[in-house]
Amino acid sequence: MTEHIAPAEYAESDRVAARLYTDPDIFDREMTQIFERSWVWVAHVSELAEAGNFKSTYVGRQPVIVTRDRKGTLHTMLNRCRHRGASLCEKPKGKVNGFTCPYHAWSYGLDGKLRGIPYPDGYEGVLEKGELSLKKLRTESYGGMVFATFAEDGESLEDFLGDAKLWIDRFMKQGGGYPIKVLGKHQFTFRGNWKIQLENTTDGYHFPIVHRSWMASVDSETADMMSFMTDESAITHSLGNGHSVMQMVPEHSDLDLDDGTEPLQARFDHVVEELSKTLDEAQVRKVVRAMHGTGFNLNLFPNVSMSAAFFRVLRPISVDETLIEHVAIGPDGPPELDVVNRERLRIHEHFQGPFGFGTPDDAEGWDRVQRGAAGGPDLPILVNRGLAREKASAEGWPTSHVTDETGMRAAYAQWKEMMADD
């Protein structure tokens, strides 16, 4: 008989045991102790722009519906009838007045209240409708990012995000003065544990190796922009609560800072020409300079990254399978900006998605980690790169080079805390 070791003990500050990727018991525990306690990203506000809009998604392994009711309030509710448990909604998104269960036609409002039960006489003296609303999760949003949690009390979303809020504000500046909207999304699965993907969005080290074929296919300006391996100003900060930010292109971290000396990329000349018919020069510059998004990846524990020009959302399916969404975004403005959003879609397609020039190579790398980690479950996975050169920034954030593993250490510290025995 092996000695009982608490899962949290498998993670140290600079290494984690490979069984964190492969042990189904640890996975089950992560689903309850992390995904059912933490704030989990469920939507962007543009997906729920109008009253009656809904989106079906998951929090951990549990199916939920996110809605906007008539008063404008956002709700996240289990996608499960309170009668016999049937799923209420199998559409990914849409606009409705409410939800009616297909099994016995119990009907619910956009706020989850039970409104109607057919043939109610059988329930006289048996149930109170007021007690059978859909099971609700706490829902809060910041900067257009909507999160939900099963935790009935505990810290607010803003407290949980903490110093990450500043970076969310900066990320949203890529709208160039307009709000951000979702343009579409790629969805793909890989045969590996969710934390392999969580690590990847803060892994600058893999970029020129795994993405060599993408680098070779883009224009030299874009390739130069992503040449951060030896750029000392390219740094990663740990922001607390498992969040981190990796600044690959620091001169684009705050898009409002623009001294006008940086030339716009020649590949966007046709966009500039088109936009210049209706927008003034300063507006055109703002939108076109933000075409590749911001210069950083903001990794929010546990399931969403705001990555340069898109959102990366992960959903654990099982210990060795994970679903990823790459959500394309762009400015939500007048039709004149369609040319910008079409260009942003093409940039997104070039790298992202199951047939992109980047994602399939990432997925191959992650599959290989899962397969390799089956060997030596107690051999460490190293996340110690840059430990000796990590220093606190002026803000007090642990900081190291963008190719270092500061962001992974941040995520595993939060993992360890949440996985500790109560």
Partner 1 sequence: MTETISTVDTRVARAVDLVNREAELLDRTEYHVWEKLFTEDGIYVIPIERDTDDFAGTLNMVYDDARMRQMRIARMTEGYAIAAVDSARTVRTVARFVPESVSDNEVVLRSAQTLIAYKRGNHDLWAADLVHRIRLSPEGPEGDRIALKVIRLINSDEAVQAAGFLL
Q: Is 121 strand, coil or helix?
A: helix
DSSP E strands in 156-270: the ranges are 180-190, 235-240, 243-247
Residue 4 binds partner 1 (CB under 8 A): no
Interface stretch with partner 1, choices 38-46, 108-116, 337-345, 391-399 (CB under 8 A) = 337-345
Half-sphere exposure of 85 (CA within 13 A, CB side): 1
Judged by CB, which is closer to partner 1: 150, or 178?
Answer: 178
Question: Least CB distance from residue 106 to partner 1, whole Å?
Answer: 27
Site for partner 1 in 266-325 (CB under 8 A): 323-324
Residue 216 binds partner 1 (CB under 8 A): yes
Q: How many residues does the chain have?
A: 422
Interface stretch with partner 1, choices 148-156, 213-221, 231-239, 400-408 (CB under 8 A) = 213-221
Q: Tell me whether strands 93-95 and 114-116 are parallel, antiparallel or unpaired.
A: unpaired
Question: Least CB distance from residue 66 to partner 1, whole Å?
Answer: 18
Interface stretch with partner 1, choices 270-278, 362-370, 388-396, 413-421 (CB under 8 A) = 362-370
Judged by CB, which is closer to partner 1: 186, or 292?
Answer: 186
Judged by CB, which is closer to partner 1: 7, or 192?
Answer: 192
Binding mask 15-34 for partner 1 (x = CB under 8 A): --------------------
Site for partner 1 in 86-125 (CB under 8 A): 92
Question: Least CB distance from residue 329 to partner 1, whole Å?
Answer: 11
Question: Least CB distance from residue 345 to partner 1, whole Å?
Answer: 5
DSSP E strands in 35-170: the ranges are 40-44, 53-59, 62-68, 74-78, 93-95, 98-100, 107-109, 114-116, 136-142, 145-149
Interface stretch with partner 1, choices 46-54, 122-130, 189-197, 254-262 (CB under 8 A) = 189-197
Residue 354 binds partner 1 (CB under 8 A): yes
Instruction: Judge whether 292 and 225 are in contact, CB under 8 Å.
Output: yes
Interatomic CA distance for residues 232 and 226, integer angstroms: 13
Distance, C-alpha 206 to centroid of its chain: 20
Q: Is 293 exposed, middle or buried (0-12, 13-18, 19+ CB in 10 A)?
A: buried
Residue 380 binds partner 1 (CB under 8 A): no
Residue 221 binds partner 1 (CB under 8 A): no
Residue in this structure with the two tokens 């922009």, named with its chain if needed: 225
Instruction: Judge whether 255 and 292 are in contact, CB under 8 Å.
Output: no
Interface stretch with partner 1, choices 74-82, 119-127, 130-138, 341-349 (CB under 8 A) = 341-349
Interatomic CA distance for residues 363 and 397, integer angstroms: 30
Q: Hey, what are 118's tokens?
A: 């057919």
Residue 349 binds partner 1 (CB under 8 A): yes
Question: Least CB distance from residue 93 to partner 1, whole Å?
Answer: 10
Q: How far apart are the first and last CA of the chain?
A: 24
Residues in contact with partner 1 by the rule CB under 8 A: 92, 183-191, 210, 212-214, 216-217, 323-324, 328, 338, 342, 345-346, 348-350, 353-355, 357, 359-365, 367, 371
